[in-house]
Amino acid sequence: MISLQKLFGKTDVFYTLLQQSAEEARHSVQALGTLFSQPVSDGNMALLKDAKRKDKKITEQINEALCTTFVTELEREDIEALSVALYKIPKTVEKIAERYVICADRIPGADFSKNLAHMQSAAEIVVKMVAELCAKMHLERMKGLNAELQQIEGDADKLVTVLLRDLYHKETDAVRVLMLRDLYDLMEKVVDRCRDAGNVLSHIVLKYT
């Protein structure tokens, strides 16, 4: 086991910031679920924009801390890579929300529950993996979580294939097809972003365990 203090020196600033970033990524997915379940409103969009804004601020704080903190064992490239990977999650979620607001009135009855479930599960695992990294970096535990994340990513890919097949075979409104395809692709990308963050986390653990 390797403690974060040993990796980052005498400060736990990166522990705090990376965990906050992962939690904001999860919050953004939760806010998207709220947007899907309620009438479109400025309030719901504000929750999503707030999550992204907070995560961007955290990313900036990490970059600033890298310039002022002496990192001994964990390479700064690893911290930067994880920070960027985490930030891309709420950034992509916000894109989904923006597209959804534009076309919500053209896609009544669209069911995104399965897509959302994959995004929520993936974001939850990322939070757990970051916590594991910061707490003890247990290799087998991290391998198990990353395997779960890879499975979710595979399931999300299969779901999109099924949804697109049904869309192309059953839908006659070409504009609706384009709108839904765009949203499906972006939702799949959120899971991909979570997978990318998981891969960075696994890489870090393998290097330092």
pLDDT band at 70 (very low <50, low <70, confident <90, very high): low
What is the reported pLDDT for 51? 77
pLDDT tops 90 at residue 29: yes
Say which residue, 65 or 95, is predicted with more confidence. Answer: 95
Phi-psi region of 148 (alpha: psi -120 to 50; beta: other; left: phi over 0): alpha
- What tokens does 107 get? 């896609």
The C-alpha atoms of residue 205 and residue 42 are separated, in whole angstroms, by 41
Average pLDDT, the chain: 87
Amino acid identity at 174: A
- At which residue do the structure tokens 């890579």 appear? 81
End-to-end CA distance of the chain: 7
The C-alpha atoms of residue 5 and residue 135 are separated, in whole angstroms, by 10
Say which residue, 111 or 76, is predicted with more confidence. Answer: 111
- The DSSP string of 18-69 is HHHHHHHHHHHHHHHHHHHHS---HHHHHHHHHHHHHHHHHHHHHHHHHHHS
Q: pLDDT tens digits for 124-171?
A: 999 999 998 887 667 888 999 999 999 999 999 999 999 999 999 999
pTM of the model: 0.88
The CA-atom distances, in angstroms, between 118 and each of 75, 125, 157, 158, 171 are: 31, 11, 10, 11, 24
Say which residue, 53 or 149, is predicted with more confidence. Answer: 149
* Ordered structural domains, the chain, with CATH: 4-208 (1.20.58.220)
pLDDT tops 60 at residue 9: no
